[in-house]
Amino acid sequence: MDPLTVTTTRPVAPETSHLDLLESHAAFVIREVAAECERPVLLFSGGKDSAVLLHIAVKAFAPGRLPFPVMHVDTGQNFPEVLAFRDATVTRLGARLVVASVPDAIARGRVADPGPLGSRNRLQTTALLDAIAENGFDAAFGGARRDEDKARAKERVLSFRDAFGQWDPRRQRPELWNLYQGRVNAGEHLRAFPLSDWTELDVWRYIEREDVALPSIYFAHERAVVRRDGMWLAVNEFVAPQDHERPQRRQVRYRTVGDATCTGAVESSAVTVAEVVREVATATVSERGATRADDRFSETAMEDRKREGYF
Amino acid sequence: MVSDLLRLATIGSVDDGKSTLVGRLLVDTRQLFDDQLDAVVNASERRGIGDLDLAFVTDGLRAEREQGITIDVAYRYAATPTRKFIVADCPGHVQYTRNMATGASTADLALAVVDVTHGLREQTRRHLCIAALLGVRHLVVAVNKMDVVRWSPTAFRSVADEIETLAGDLDFATVVAVPTSALLGDNVVETSDNTTWYHGPTVLAALEEAPASSWASARGARLPIQWVLRQPGGGRTYAGMVAGATLGTGDLVTLLPAGIVTRITELNTLHAGSVASAVPGLSIDVALADETDAGRGDLLAAAPLPRVTRTLEATVCWFADRALGAGSRLRLKHTTRTTPVRIDTVTGVVDVDTLRVTPGDELRANDIGILTLTAADDLVVDDYRENRVTGSFILIDEATNATVAAGMVGYPGFVASPQN
Ligand SMILES: Nc1nc2c(ncn2[C@@H]2O[C@H](COP(=O)(O)OP(=O)(O)OP(=O)(O)O)[C@@H](O)[C@H]2O)c(=O)[nH]1
Ligand SMILES: [Mg+2]
């Protein structure tokens, strides 16, 4: 390099870290999809992965506005802290929020009401696919990571969905280098997973580094819980203790955020991000294994849901 | 230099033990959570496979478990005290070569698995050839199922010799052959008592010690423009990911294909804001000294400059079931530019046994071929050997939008051309 161009007033280049490269790759994917697709949307559950995804998306287009809306698939059975966080985040960013509502889908007769004890997990797929079709979205960003589940470990960064919203793991498009191609025909769409190569620990280290805001339930707090299917389930308006169950107060936190009826808490004393990072680094049970009743139905529960068009 | 992160892909013929080896590596280095290991044990028992089918650690799809075969790449993440790994466990079956290429296209190192009782089969050669074409320079070979040949050093030596010779022909920079039993764990993480005649590293040690791949290019830095960011007050910055070499504030760059010479006046990374320079793999945005009409699909390059051309000679892996011949029309995606192309000539197909080009006028599914094409718009390219980003492209079927080929600009160095 020409030595004359190196002046002392120039800022220095910091060491490039693994998190820098993960963040850069995620931003690259987000920009590619935004450039190649007509109507993308970012799926924002209020969970930590989608909070990180949204954080990177905002950085990728700053100082401009986010060039796509965000969508929440609302089961109607949310933790109130998460809904409050969702609304505060959307307001702060000036983003447009689309809500795909399971209660609406039930009211419109699109799906049957599973009743208070039934799971609304699969119903989310109908609400999601209906909203994608109604809004004409051709790409939906999700915060899913390959380290979460064995079916997700198989999925492309840009994952094709046919006109019925289905994923066919036998016929995935080849995905070479960083050449992500987002072409779809009318009625088809893509799912884009910019955090594919992140681990749970990477996500938490990034939250720590960037000071990403999260719903309070990710940090240890005391609440009334019952032991069900080997998990601590919060007692609230959606979850009533059954006869043999004895509610107790415990110090818990959430490792994932989903429907309040099927997302369990873990016992924890981690109240700061740094403490959570330490806890995650030494965890012996996976995040979904510890907290998701929906993955326990069968060996291939996630694959089966994904084939139908789930996140 | 050993780097923090190693991306590796398993390659080799069907059933030689790739998934079992990855499962063994992950289990013996305690990368699995308790519930994940329990789930693999349960699934194995349910299918009557005994207490633990290690291949189920990565073979996670229902069809894969039913058929005992890998269909698509699984990505797993591991960390030992010395290194982080991203493991792409690729399928061996010829029908899924496109998925193997997917896994290998981002790999620094290939972990080849060869069943010692079969030796090198056509599919092993094809995978090695594709990995070499994709620019993978480092190879670790597990000569596997050594338990079946009662740990015979001569059986190991004969397969290791054969693959070392081939690796030399394919220009791999380093090769380490290890006698293993993925099934029993010998020389995977733990040194085996059954191979006292072997003094080399275990598979894990070979992976931990493997040199980092340098994707740095002797040619200049490149910045394919992805997106134009409008700045308050009317200015613009140009966003993209750095490729090839470090790009710095103050650098002289040429906007291509327009050919406008300008200077980078400011360079921002996502994390640190305005910085002096950025290495390949970082997403940045830059401000330029001169007004230009730069946009997505254009490229900023430091000297020595890439070529601007509409015609290319290229090496391709063809994935579609239908044959590809002269006159075919497709779309080509190269960096951030997509353009219609026409295939002008198919020169021939690489014979993976002889590494020579067999003259021919069409490519069939899973062929590696040489062709020339003409694009509707200017392309700004380097040879693939010079730059993995500006030297690579994909071909897209216009009707189905399927990705039908992986393309590399230029002629592979290790293949004898049909003329001589
Ligand atoms: N005896 C013996 N059998 C092995 C060894 N490694 C793998 N096998 C067996 O070989 C068979 C195939 O193993 P996989 O790991 O599924 O092979 P693969 O290379 O992943 O196959 P594809 O992914 O379908 O190409 C299984 O039955 C394994 O148990 C070994 O070291 N010794
Ligand atoms: Mg396999």
Closest ligand to Cα B184:
1
The burial class, CB within 10 Å (0-12 / 13-18 / 19+), for A22 is buried
Contact B120, B149 (CB under 8 A): no
The CA distance from A42 to A34, in Å, is 10
Average pLDDT for chain B: 93
Beta strands in B185-251 (DSSP E): 222-224, 227-230, 236-241, 247-248
Which ipTM was obtained for this model? 0.94
Task: Determine contact: A5 vs chain B, CB below 8 A.
Answer: yes
B60–A154 C-beta distance less than 8 A: yes
> Which residues in chain A have their CB less than 8 angstroms from residue B250's CB?
5-7, 10
B76–A147 C-beta distance less than 8 A: yes
The pLDDT score that the predictor gives to residue A108 is 79
Ligand 1: atom nearest CA of B92 is 25
> Which residues in chain A have their CB less than 8 angstroms from residue B63's CB?
169-170
Mean pLDDT in residue range B191-202:
96
**H/E stretch holding A288:** helix A287-291
pLDDT > 90? residue A13: no
Does ligand 1 lie within 6 Å of residue B93's CB atom?
A: yes
The CA distance from B411 to B420, in Å, is 14
The pLDDT score that the predictor gives to residue B334 is 98
pLDDT, tens only, B376-393: 999 999 999 999 999 999
- Residue B21's pLDDT band, with cuts at 50, 70 and 90, is very high
Task: Determine contact: B393 vs chain A, CB below 8 A.
Answer: yes
Global pTM reads 0.92
Of the candidate ranges A109-123, A176-190, B356-370, the one whose mean pLDDT is the lowest: A109-123
The CA distance from B316 to B368, in Å, is 6
- Give the Å distances, CA to CA, from A267 to A247, A291, B136: 15, 11, 45
The pLDDT score that the predictor gives to residue A2 is 41
**Better-scored residue on pLDDT, A247 or A44:** A44
Beta strands in A153-192 (DSSP E): 158-161, 189-192
Does ligand 1 lie within 6 Å of residue B20's CB atom?
A: yes
- Residue type at position A144: A
pLDDT, tens only, A121-162: 777 888 888 889 999 999 999 999 999 888 899 999 999 998
Task: Determine contact: A35 vs chain B, CB below 8 A.
Answer: yes
The CA distance from B37 to B41, in Å, is 6
The pLDDT score that the predictor gives to residue B1 is 40
DSSP at B153: H
In this structure, the residue with its CA closest to atom 14 of ligand 1 is B17
Of the candidate ranges A149-153, A235-239, B104-108, the one whose mean pLDDT is the lowest: A235-239
pLDDT > 50? residue A5: no
pLDDT > 70? residue A10: no
Mean pLDDT in residue range B193-217:
90
pLDDT, tens only, A55-88: 999 999 999 999 999 999 988 888 889 999 999 9
pLDDT > 70? residue B262: yes
Contacts of residue A285, defined as CB under 8 A and 6 or more positions apart, other chains included, come to: B33, B34, B35
